[in-house]
Amino acid sequence: MTNPGKNFIDKTSYPDFSTFDMILRVPEPPSENPVPEGAKIIKLPNPKRIKIPEISVQKAVESWEPVEFFSRSTMNLKELSFLLWCTQGIRKVSDRELFIRNAPSSGRRYPINTYFMAGEVEGLPTGLYQYLPSIHSIVALREGSDLPFAMGTASMNFKMFTRAAVAFIWTATPYRSVWALGDRGYRSVFIEAGHVCQSLIMASASIGYTVHPIDLFHDQMMIQLIGIDPENEWPLYVAAVGKIEIEL
C-alpha cells in the first residue's frame, strides 16, 4: 500500500544540500510571475491612505465562523487594495535592500501567487485578475460575466462563489522556495498558503467582510480556469469573500 503523506515527509526531510540550487549557483528564479503580453495593468489605491475602523484582534478572531451563504454585496477598489496588501503586500527595508511582505515566508522566498475573481467590485469588470505585489497593481487576465459561475463549478461550491464580492485563488510556484531551501521548500508552499489566508480573514473582519476558505476543488478545472502551467505552478487554496448581512 502506498503512503503518499509519509513519502512526502521523507522526501522533504531537512537538510539535503544536494537539492539546494542556490548553493549550486543555479540562477535565482523570478520573484513574481510575468505579466502576459498585452495585458492591462491597473494601479491600486494606496492601502495606507484607506481609513479602516478600529477593531481588536480578539474581535477579529471571534468574528469568523463557517458560512454557507453570502448576501449580495459590492466591494470597492479601496477595500480590495487593502485586502491584497494585507495578504501579500510588500514593505521594503531600504538599508538592507530586503523586501518583506505582510505574511511570513520561509527564507523570504514568497512562493505564493495571488489571483482573484472579481464578482462585484466597483470599477472592475467581472473577471479574473492577478496581483503584482512589487508595484501594488493588478493585471486583467480575462473578463466575462460567466467566470464566477465557472469558479463555482471548479470549487464545488456554486452558490458561495456566484454571490461573493471577490474570490481569491492562491497558487504556488514551488521552485522559488526549492531554489533556496532544497526539497524542504515544497513543505513551505502549503504552510504559507495558510498564512496568507489567515491574513485575509483578519483583514476582512476589520472592514466588515467574511471569508469562506476552500481547499477542496477540481484541480484540473482550476488550472484551466486560471490558465497556469501545472508543471511549474500549482493551485493550493481558494477563498470567497462577501457579507452575510444585506447592505442597507
**Residue 168 included in any domain:** yes
What pLDDT sits at residue 1? 53
pLDDT tens per residue, range 102-126 = 999 999 999 999 999 999 999 999 9
**Residue 135 included in any domain:** yes
Quick one: how far is CA 207 from the chain centroid? 18
Q: Cα separation of 162 and 208, whole Å?
A: 19
What pLDDT sits at residue 2? 82
pLDDT tens per residue, range 151-203 = 999 988 777 888 899 999 999 999 999 999 999 999 999 999 999 999 999 99
- Residues 137 and 45 sit within 8 Å (Cβ to Cβ): no
**Residue 22 included in any domain:** no
In this structure, what CATH number is given to the domain that contains residue 200?
3.40.109.10
Closest by Cα among 238, 93, 90, 99 to 166: 238
Residue 101 belongs to domain spanning: 52-242
Please report which confidence band the pLDDT of residue 222 belongs to, taking 50, 70 and 90 as the band edges: very high
192 CB-near residues (< 8 Å, 6+ apart): 103, 104, 105, 106, 110, 111, 112, 172
**Residue 87 included in any domain:** yes
167 has which bridge partners? 117, 240
Over pLDDT 70: what percentage of the chain?
95
Domain count, the chain: 1
